[in-house]
Structure 1
């Protein structure tokens, strides 16, 4: 279902959610960069959140982050249900809205993790990818389900890369001097995030092929796989900086993202500005030729 205008509360919920996501990835990127320099254990999002628990304001910050993740989850669920980004009802639109729902589910899980850590409990424990693979392998056609999940993850990683290279994110980004200056960082962040997701997908596919859930792995496994490559320490450090860049992308989204079902016609996005610039250049060229 869709409506002519989205309720006003979805915008602050979206901004709050992206901010929480950005802070988490900034922490994660810093931890992974430190691990690349020192040879220490790499971390995942849950571990990044757990580092806050020992700080003086850690529990309070975890509650704030949990609220932010919950807000982001609600935003993604409502965005998909009400089609706030005008994705449409064709196959492409349905796939995009399913992706929004999945993203909301992941964020809801992080909200629960943050709340558990704030209360002094564990974050839920275990590797989520291995848990998923183990559960799927127990279902009918489990081997194929695990491989399908892996292929979906690889596709999602590829989507992030295409989103960066084709600058699809600009369609919903307000054009300002700051958003234009940070554009290269945004692209790098999206590509880095896509690489991590695709690697996780690759491990899931292999777990399905071997019918062995221990072959699956989440972010920590992906980071260790990168470090195991030639010049792995350098590659891991570069990937960590990419995750920090993805945090910047989240902060840019928090500040400048436009909700099409809420924004007015007077809002200029980066995509609209780029089109206007290209059309202006075409007209100037045509006038010179004429």
Structure 2
């Protein structure tokens, strides 16, 4: 019989793998088209949709991304990774929440392609659609600003993590040595993208205009006129995708103890 810990383990690893495939293809498409892809992040799922067994793959990725979202939300809310309640720990948990929101956008777009509701020719508007729905609420603009600030904090934490390589503390020693430099480059690239998303959310909410809010793919495409920066970010995202696949294999997954959400890490 498979216990809760093993199910949780597989869900988290599937989530990291889905994240890896998304970032790997996102960086590859951006780099190969030099920013001419109209669909932005959605071009990834349109690309998968056209390969053999594309729709089942999209469904698996949707489930995987949702599992990753749940994992990050648990990290933010219940302190699943024991980050603590000091200022540094709170900032890391805010970064976890921002990551959950970013990947919720990706999961939503992936779901639309899995069900055949959307193609890349319709544009990468998932983030704008969700932002528009939230802005219709009475305090929606406040929610968007708070989430935007979360992305800005997440950008800072991604850059800090890239510099310190602290992410290796949760990677098994059996992982290839190349995982560390690849992970560093990937985190720096992700910091740039989170910065762009966060700023767009704060600016869009302040003006109450959802069209100013950008998703992951749109944030990358906004750099296409920057030349070298665009190329470096695209390469960095490819590396982050590769690192995510390493993580899916070598991540030290927290094991649930008798108390539930508080885990005991496996050696």
Q: Report if TM-score (shorter chain) is over 0.5.
A: yes
Conservation of the 8 A alpha-carbon contact between 1:33 and 1:237:
yes
Conservation of the 8 A alpha-carbon contact between 2:128 and 2:215:
yes
Q: 1:9 aligns with which of 7, 10, 19?
A: 7
Give the whole-Å Cα distance in 1 for the aligned partners of 2:132 and 2:113: 25
Q: 2:237 aligns with which of 223, 240, 243?
A: 243
Q: 2:211 aligns with which of 207, 211, 214?
A: 214
**2:223 matches 1:234:** no
Give the whole-Å Cα distance in 1 for the aligned partners of 2:150 and 2:98: 11
| Greater gyration radius | 1
Give the whole-Å Cα distance in 1 for the aligned partners of 2:169 and 2:93: 16
Give 1:196 shift. 0.6
TM-score by length of 2: 0.79
Equivalent residue, structure 2, for 1:57: 53
**2:65 matches 1:69:** yes
CA RMSD of aligned residues (A): 3.1
Give the whole-Å Cα distance in 1 for the aligned partners of 2:66 and 2:134: 26
Cα distance, 1:12–1:169 mapped onto 2, change above 3 Å: same
TM-score by length of 1: 0.73
Question: Which ranges in structure 1 are unaligned for 5 or more consecutive residues?
Answer: 1-5, 268-290
Cα distance, 1:76–1:197 mapped onto 2, change above 3 Å: closer
Conservation of the 8 A alpha-carbon contact between 2:185 and 2:239:
yes
Conservation of the 8 A alpha-carbon contact between 1:129 and 1:216:
yes
Give 1:137 shift. 4.5
Q: 2:253 aligns with which of 245, 251, 259?
A: 259
Equivalent residue, structure 2, for 1:120: 116
SS at match of 1:8: helix
Give the whole-Å Cα distance in 2 for the aligned partners of 1:126 and 1:68: 20
Give 1:162 shift. 0.8
Q: 1:28 aligns with which of 15, 26, 29?
A: 26
Task: Give the aligned length.
Answer: 254
Question: Which ranges in structure 2 are unaligned for 5 or more consecutive residues?
Answer: 255-262
